[in-house]
Every structure is written in C-alpha cells, then in structure tokens.
Amino acid sequence: MSPLASGPQGPTTLRPLLTTVLDALTAGAATRDGPLPAGGPTEVAARLREALGDPLPDHGDEDALRTLVQALAAGAADPADPLCTAHLHCPPLAVATAADLAASVLNPSLDSWDQAPAASELETLVTRALAAEVYGETGQARSAGDALVTTGGTESNQLALLLAREHHGHTQLICAENAHHSLRRATWLLGLPEPVTVPAPAGTMDPAALGEALTALPGPFLVAATAGTTDAGLIDPLPDIATLCETHGARLHIDAAYGGGLLFSARHRSKLDGLARAHTVTLDLHKLGWQPIAAGLLAVRDRHDLAPLGHHADYLNADDDTEAGLPDLLGRSLRTTRRPDILKIAVTLKTLGRTGLGALVDRVCEQAAEFAELIHRHPRFELHDRPTISTVLFRPTDATDDTVAAVRRTLLTEGRAVLGRARLDNRLWLKATLLNPHTGADDLAALLKLVEGHTPR
C-alpha cells in the first residue's frame, strides 16, 4: 500500500488513518475534565514529553499517529468547550475541517497555475465575491474590488500598510490606542515612522482628535480604524472617520478581523456602516467565520492597488506563459508557496450561505447579551458594558486587579475555564469572547459560578 495521501491509492491509505485520528482525538479529549488540561505549563509539558519520547528515533513507530494525536488532544485547549472563551479562537465547522483535509490531500500550491489549476480559479471567484460583500454588489465597486487570502489579521494589516506606502511613496500611520498591535509592528517591519496614536477615551477612536492630527501633521496619511477590538469587541465610529479621511485626502484602512463577520448578519450588518469607504479592509474568517486556522483576507476597493505586489520568477510566471493565457499568481501574495485555504472558505459559504452564517453570528451575539444581563443582575459581579459583538468584560465586585489575575490563572491551571484578560479604564477585567453557537444559558451560569467560587471573599 502506498504511504502517499494522494494518488490512486490515496483513499485506501487514508481511511484507516482517519479512523485512528478520530479515535485518538476522542480518547485524548476524554482525559480532560474541562476545556484545558489540568496542571499548568509544567505538568502539561511533562506529559507531552513523555508521549513524544525521542522526536527523531532511528527506527519509526507505526503507532506514532495515534500516540501523538491523543497526546495533543489531551493537552489541547478545546475551543468547542462552552467554558473556553478567552480569545478569538473559534470552534471550526465540521464541513470546513473536512474541506481543509481535502486541501491537504490534494496539496495545491498557489504560486503557479500548473500547481493549482482549479484552486487558482476558485480563489479568484470567491475572493471577488467577498470583496463585493465588503464594497457592494453593484456599480463600479463590483468590478473594481478584490481580496487576497492571508494567514490572518496580522498579515492583512501588514499588507495594507505596504500598499499604502507603495501608493504614496511614504506614509504616516495614524491609529488609536485601541488599534491591534500588528499595525505598530508593521510600521517597524516596513521602515515607516512610529505611528501617531490618538486617544480612544471610551475604547474607540476619538474623531475630534483624529481631525486635529490630520490638520496639524504633514501627510500623506494612512488612518487605521478598528471594527472589533480584541479587548472588548468595540467598533470605531467608521462613518465619521471615513468622512475625515476623505476631507483630508487620507487613505483609510479598517481592521475588521473580528467584526467583519457581522457582514453576514442582516441584524448586525449596520454596525459596519462606513466599511465600504475604506481603501483596504482586514477580514479574518477563523474568528466570526468558524474556519480552521488560517483564513484571513485583505479586501481592496480598487484591485489596481495590488499592482505593487507584482513579481517575476521565470520558472513560475514566464512572460510568454502569461501572454499565452496562464494566470500569474505571484502578485496575489508576498508568500510563494501557499496552500489553498480558499477551499474551506468556499465550501462553508456554499454550504451555509449568507443566511446560515448570519444565524451563527446572531446566535453568539445573543449569547453575549444574555451573559451580560446575567452579570448585570448578579450582586457579586460588575459588568464593564453591554457587548457590541460577542465579547463581555466583567470582574468580581470590589476585587483588586491582583485578585482578578489570580482567579483567571487558577481556573487555567485547574483546566476548569479559559477566560481572557483586558485592561480598560485602568482596571483589569475578565474577558469572555463567545464564539460557540451551541453554548447555552446553563453554560454561562456555570462559568459565572466557577469564577465566583474561585474568588476570595
């Protein structure tokens, strides 16, 4: 039997291995009593080292797949557990996970057409459909928009800054205190000046302060707004920011890595009013899109803005091949070899449709509202604010920041619950980001009870 996953013997080879993987996943998960392995970093590392043994033995072990998958599952943070709520780390859809396996089996590489004939066309069709979702389905924007597949929000934000730099020859980034750290890091990577940071007094960018910066400083500018902050899921006042950018001739980028999923919801889509006025938009469907990592995108209002990414390597996009009609894929990314992450996205969009995805978005937003109300009514907890998307910040009443931090770490070490942390208003808050549509009211009550039971009185 061939050991290869693809080719004529591929399915025969894979079937027993898939059974092994599923059994090992189930067995590993059964060893955990909660969303995280108990014991903290030291004990988890010790158990993994014991399971692994020699990473590169002289002779192979036919049971390695079962052993290591089971060890990884036993030591995993389970994003499908209702009490795993710390980060923008979603439980992936089964259909997307299955499509991801197919992508691995076929192993296309999207750096030349002859390595990915169908995948390259699929990527073109789906990315332009998603760009139309951002920028509108009629008029000039329909024909002009495009999107690139990235590894996530960080790469998308870096690309947005690169395109702005290449468009202007030089650019000054202006962002708010709430902006994602990747934007500041991108200025360093691209040799741009330190970003100008404007206040975010209520957790969102202050338009008046932005206007003052645009008036007082020399351009050209790239203004980066946020639609879904990582700490509280807040959305900057996008229409006001877009108007200021248009008035001052500034380029606008919106980091909607978290909030972009609201586009699928008829109920919540209006929270993204102003998004279509941005030159570039970061999307991240391994958040509110329920995709296996990675599934990022950078949407552009005008596909001609992508021209600076053009690159030539004769063995991949020779001029005569391009002239003969073979698509040139090197300008679709800064990476060369890249896997067809578009397949799982395409399968998800086609399987669930806008209505199905919108229902998932609506459900997690409802859960967040329910959890906020539960906290608001509880005498021993303080709610930071009503959620904008699906993130809820709370803390035990009268607890110190040290107590809040200690409660979180205790729950992590015991493996009982996975909560995040966020500092707003000069205080430390527990953060619950709800991304599991199957989480119920009893799960939310249990999470709150766990925190209460671990808080010293």
CA distances to 85, 250, 273, 277 from 381, rounded to whole Å, are 18, 43, 33, 40
CB 292 within 8 A of CB 341: no
Instruction: Report how far residue 176's alpha carbon sits from residue 227's, in angstroms, rounded to the nearest whole number.
Output: 12
Instruction: Report how far residue 447's alpha carbon sits from residue 455's, in angstroms, rounded to the nearest whole number.
Output: 13
Cβ neighbours of residue 445 closer than 8 Å, sequence gap 6 or more: 374
Which strand ranges, in their side-by-side order, compose the sheet holding 146-150? 146-150, 296-300, 280-284, 251-255, 221-226, 172-176, 196-198
Q: What is the pLDDT of residue 376?
A: 98
CB 343 within 8 A of CB 149: no
Q: What is the total residue count of the chain?
A: 457
pTM over 0.85: yes
Give the mean pLDDT per block of 10 residues along the chain (457 residues). Answer: 70 90 97 96 97 97 97 97 96 98 96 97 98 77 81 98 95 97 97 96 96 95 98 98 98 98 98 98 98 98 96 96 96 96 98 98 98 98 98 97 98 97 96 98 97 93
CB 303 within 8 A of CB 130: no
Instruction: Report how far residue 149's alpha carbon sits from residue 40's, in angstroms, rounded to the nearest whole number.
Output: 35
Burial of 344 (0-12, 13-18, 19+ CB in 10 A): buried
Query: Which residue type does 216 have?
Result: A
Instruction: Report how far residue 423's alpha carbon sits from residue 403's, in angstroms, rounded to the nearest whole number.
Output: 14
Geometric angle at alpha carbon 89, from 345 and 125, rounded to 5°: 15
